[in-house]
Amino acid sequence: MRTLPIYVEPVPAETISGYIGRLAESHCLEVGEIRRALIREAGRSTWSDSDPRVAVALARLCGLPDDALEVSFEEHGMWTRCGHPRWVPQKCWRCRTLAEPHAACAECAGGFTTTTRARTGPLCLMHSRWTLRGLAVKLPAGTYMSQAERNLRGPLWERGIAIHTGEFNLAAAAILAWAQGNDGGTFLEERAQRFGLAGPASFEEVMLCGYPEVVRIVEVAMSPRILRGVLQVSRSALPQIDGFANVIANTLGATVNDSLHDWAGAVIGHAHRAVLYAAGLRRTKSAKNALCPQDRALIVASGTKRACLLRHVSPRILDGLRRGHTEGTSRLSVTRRFPLEPDELALQ
């Protein structure tokens, strides 16, 4: 196979489809033409961007080493709770889970748009460029947001938290609820004005205007230590709701207002229902009496009930609950691959 004339440097952990899109643009080719050449070269009959033979064919087409488009699990792998063999966050070499593809920094991508599965958040530390979904902003070098980005890539990543796993969506909703209860005039609106946004409303806008605060809420308010205290379904929910709202407000250096309190009530109520559901999960759909192992039950419930907080608590919170039967779980191979969706109460 002849190699393409223009060299396009791959972005770290770039997706195959993202890289082909950039190749097509820089060579004035159609994506379909490149795909057809790769299908032939890889000896397939249809297109697949997950076939390693396609990645090798693509690397050869660009004159790159064969493994140039393989994403390094060592460098970019996710920590997951998959039960291989334990349910604590771990980098599992059997699942080899990577982050969902997210928009890459356009400066890293030579001015084009592409997607990457790298161990990163929305901020490129090299170019100080913010990129989240369709929102891209150039920030001053050494921006105040850099530390938040490092915390995302470091301790939060190792708790199994990435931009697609839901916790940031929930924290962004908390900040928005608090800001709305303050009738504007908070740091959120002030920064939105600086970025030329009318008022932060979407997930990507709240993230841009409150990135350090969102990361802080995930770090502190969604830590196992705090969640253990607010997901106790055998005790009255009211003090737990007050507690959760207080921790969030303290993290923001603010006080609780009605709007934040209502939000915390809805989130804790939803999480408590999910914990009760987890407590009654049966091992399989047919085994009516055999309960699911507790740690697995929490992970399954966090997926089916869309309650990401359940992924961060010890299964001991299920001890001593009266367990009415709820449902049976699917096979491990199915629940392990359950797609993560943000909670319904989160900013989507």
Binding site for Zn ion (CB under 5 A): 82, 84, 92, 94-95, 105, 107-108, 124, 126-127
Cβ-based nearer residue to Zn ion, 208 or 226: 208
Shortest Å, Cβ 282 to Zn ion = 23
Judged by DSSP in three states, 75 sits in: helix
Q: How far is the CB of 89 from Zn ion (least distance, A)?
A: 11
* Minimum distance from residue 94 beta carbon to Zn ion (Å): 4
CA angle 33, 35, 38 (to 5 degrees): 115
Question: 84 vs 283, which CB is nearer to Zn ion?
Answer: 84
Nearest-angstrom CA–CA distance, 262 and 287: 39
Q: What is the dihedral of CA 228, 276, 244, 201, to 10 degrees?
A: 130
Tokens, residue 131: 């990129």
Closest CB 82 distance from Zn ion, rounded Å: 3
Nearest CB to Zn ion, comparing residues 56 and 82: 82
Whose Cβ is closer to Zn ion: residue 41's or residue 107's?
Answer: 107
Count of CB atoms situated within 10 Å of the CB of 96: 12
Between 126 and 141, CB nearer to Zn ion: 126
Q: Using CB atoms within 10 Å of the CB of residue 141, give its burial: 0 to 12 exposed, 13 to 18 middle, 19+ buried.
A: exposed
Q: Angle of helix 167-181 relative to helix 187-194, nearest 10 degrees?
A: 100
For residue 129, the minimal CB distance to Zn ion (Å) is: 5
24 or 95, CB closer to Zn ion?
95
Q: How far is the CB of 288 from Zn ion (least distance, A)?
A: 28
Measured from the CB atom, the residue of 45 and 333 that comes closer to Zn ion is 333
How far is Cα 313 from Cα 160, in angstroms, rounded to an integer? 13
Q: How far is the CB of 256 from Zn ion (least distance, A)?
A: 38
DSSP per position, 23-57: HHHHHT--HHHHHHHHHHHHT-SS--SS-HHHHHH
- Residue 247 to residue 253: CA distance in whole angstroms: 10
